[in-house]
């Protein structure tokens, strides 16, 4: 199965925000990665706009719809009223709900779906009424995908930071086993499977081999770090090769 590569451009936006200047351009870098073969763009706008800004969300939407029809636009975030309003206006192809609090530096855990049904069900229903695919960010736990299905999700995104932080075969093995079981549970529940967080050119082939039916990976930090050395087009091509493409 072909696994799509969605490039998260938050790190580009965060670098730009260090100065009151328009570069590096979030839309410009997004154009480069798409021309190099990436399948989509991911952003995770936060309430304090410390990286991606509301203006970026709409500038990307205009560029993608105008110049790259068919390319997927994925917006991640906590389903607050403000976030849902933003997504409703931008109309991406996919929204990924994450259980982040505003002060978190980055995502560090998946949803406790059972405890958050009252938050998730109306948010999922609102997005699906607009024709937006919904993915839920979850931990490596095979008990969670059936619950994600119950609240109406179309996909789950596997939180892969524990796997990405393991560097020996002995440390990697339990995470690969848990991720594989979670992916199998999701597929059995009728959900597609995405993955993201701390995925690199080095650990991506192992994940793809373990979960051949992986629909999409969302990668930002590592790809941006690699791009500092080789440029964004070459980095994208390297990640596509790591996915066997």
- Give the active site residues: 44, 76, 197
The whole-angstrom separation of Cα 200 and Cα 186 is: 23
24 cis-preceded (ω within 30 degrees of 0): yes
Cα angle at 121 between 192 and 72, to 5 degrees?
40
Residue ranges of alpha helices (H) inside the chain are 10-16, 26-35, 54-67, 81-90, 117-129, 144-150, 161-164, 169-188, 204-210, 221-230, 232-242
**Burial bucket for residue 110 (CB in 10 Å: 0-12, 13-18, 19+):** buried
């Amino acid at each position: 199965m072909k696994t799509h590569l969605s490039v998260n451009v938050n790190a580009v936006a965060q670098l730009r925000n260090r100065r009151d200047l328009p570069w590096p351009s979030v839309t410009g870098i997004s154009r480069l990665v798409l021309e190099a073969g990436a399948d989509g763009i991911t952003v995770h706008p936060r309430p304090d706009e410390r990286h991606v800004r509301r203006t970026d969300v709409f500038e990307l939407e205009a560029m993608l719809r105008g110049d790259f029809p068919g390319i997927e636009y994925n917006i991640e975030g906590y389903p607050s009223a403000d976030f849902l309003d933003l997504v409703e206006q931008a109309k991406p192809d996919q929204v990924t709900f994450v259980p982040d609090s505003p002060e978190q530096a980055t995502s560090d855990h998946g949803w406790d779906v059972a405890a958050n049904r009252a938050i998730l069900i109306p948010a999922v229903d609102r997005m699906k009424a607009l024709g937006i695919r919904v993915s839920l960010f979850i931990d490596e736990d095979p008990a969670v995908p059936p619950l994600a299905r119950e609240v109406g999700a179309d996909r789950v995104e596997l939180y892969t930071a524990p796997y990405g932080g393991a560097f020996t075969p002995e440390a990697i093995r339990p995470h690969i086993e848990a991720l594989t079981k979670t992916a199998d549970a999701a597929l059995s529940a009728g959900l597609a499977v995405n993955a993201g967080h701390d995925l690199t050119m080095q650990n991506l082939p192992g994940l793809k081999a373990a979960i051949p039916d992986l629909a999409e990976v969302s990668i930002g930090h590592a790809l941006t770090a690699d791009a500092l050395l080789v440029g964004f087009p070459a980095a994208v091509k390297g990640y596509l090769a790591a996915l066997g493409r």
